Amino acid sequence: MTTRLLQLVLRTESDVFVARQRAREVAAAVGLERQDQVRLATALSEVGRTLFTDRGGPPATGAEVWFGVDDGTLHVEVVAIGPTQAQQLPSLGRLVDSLTIDDGPTTTVVRMSRRIPVGAQLDQAGLDRIRAELAASAPRTPLDEMAEQNEQLLSALEETRAHRDELARLNAELEETNRGVMALYNQLSDELEETNRGVVALYAELDERSAQLRAASEAKTRFLANVSHELRAPVTAVIGLARLLDDPESDPLTEDQSRQVGLIRGSAADLLRLVNDLLDLAKAESGTIQPEWSDVDLGAVFSQLRGTVRALAVPSVELVVVDPGPATIRSDEVLLAQVLRNLLHNGLKFTVDGEVRMTASRVDEDWLIQVTDTGVGIAPELHDRIFEEFYQVPGRSPTGAPGTGLGLPYARRLVTLLGGTLTVASEPGAGSTFTVRLPAGGDGTP
């Protein structure tokens, strides 16, 4: 329910001054802030001036103004009698919270409201007290009001000037910051350009080094291929001749001579193995090995290896080749068999007792072929080195079988050619597992 605080009657335009002054008093009494007091008073004064001004039509002959509080809001209602110029009211939306105009043929009702800050709202007793005070206070003269208005105008001007100065100071600060940012940006740009130049130079050097490395690697491969090729014929000849010398059909040798010829044959055989391994590796590296792709029956490869490799196993080591069942892989049968034979040979070479086991399992789109042994094992820090050419773990081959250190690099090369990977998992004394992972569908080459 609205508590009415004050009622005024306006008869002439000069009463508008009084209305303005009273509006400010009411606004101050109910707790509106200073700015809002001025806003409300200005809005009422504008309404009064518009209603009482002859702007191309007859002005109002009189008006009643009501101030009241309702639900934490100060309401002002102006009821003007007679035809008015309400439609000419300037926009007052910024001065009050709500404004409605009821423009009838005989009366015009303008309603405005402004919310009172929550902390300042009064209870009924407070409102009654204000009403009594307002009734007791007499309105001042238009001249007083004019002076007051001037004062307000001056303070508003002062405030505006302060704002303007603050704005100018902020602008200057902003300009300064902008200059700083630009300087920083330029510096960063320069630094970036410098770094870029460095990176470009580094890349050029890297390219050059890569080219040199490639050339060196190719030269090495060519050298190995040529030397091995040239060596193979004479070494084979030495083996042949030594065999002839030792032949029962030939002139008999003394026991000593026969032993020496045996040594020559053994050394020549080692040399031939090395030459053959070198030639294989050189071929694989030079890219002259082209896999011949076909659908390979893994079961058949396994059983063929079981037959050929078994002969190498000593009685204390069991060779277990687990039949993979129906299994087809798109690969090169000869190269694949070569890789697996190599791994089985190694397993048998480095295992004194226990077993060497080969299994195959399908994982997603790949075949995983694993050769596991219960042999000496390999220290983790050597897992990369054993794939380097000629590297052999020192003090090895518990079975005394010879080696060249070229088997694993060659095997890895072949597996890469077949589109797969060759990895090792091993611990000293805990055996080793070599895993060949190959895509079941080949490397995509038809």
Q: Interface with ligand ADP by CB under 6 A: which residues?
A: 346-347, 350, 373, 375-376, 378, 386, 391-393, 396, 403-408, 432
Least CB distance to ligand ADP at residue 369 (A): 15
Which residues contact residue 440 at a Cβ distance below 8 angstroms, ignoring those fewer than 6 apart?
Answer: 328, 329, 330, 362, 365, 366, 367
Considering beta carbons, is residue 291 or 431 the nearer one to ligand ADP?
431
Residue 415 host element (H or E):
helix 407-417
Considering beta carbons, is residue 319 or 376 the nearer one to ligand ADP?
376
- Cα–Cα distances (Å) from 173 to 162, 164, 181, in that order, read 16, 14, 12
Which residues contact residue 412 at a Cβ distance below 8 angstroms, ignoring those fewer than 6 apart?
Answer: 387, 422
Which amino acid is located at 2 in the chain? T
Helix (H, G, I), strand (E, B) or coil at 370: strand
Judge contact between 418 and 335, C-beta under 8 A.
yes
Least CB distance to ligand ADP at residue 204 (A): 37
Least CB distance to ligand ADP at residue 351 (A): 7
Least CB distance to ligand ADP at residue 373 (A): 5
Considering beta carbons, is residue 304 or 370 the nearer one to ligand ADP?
370
Considering beta carbons, is residue 75 or 349 the nearer one to ligand ADP?
349
Least CB distance to ligand ADP at residue 240 (A): 25
Q: Using H for helix, E for strand and C for coil, what is the string for 51-91? A: HCCCCCCCCCCEEEEEEEEECCEEEEEEEEECCCCHHHCCC
In DSSP terms, 430 is beta-bridged to none
Least CB distance to ligand ADP at residue 273 (A): 9
Considering beta carbons, is residue 67 or 350 the nearer one to ligand ADP?
350
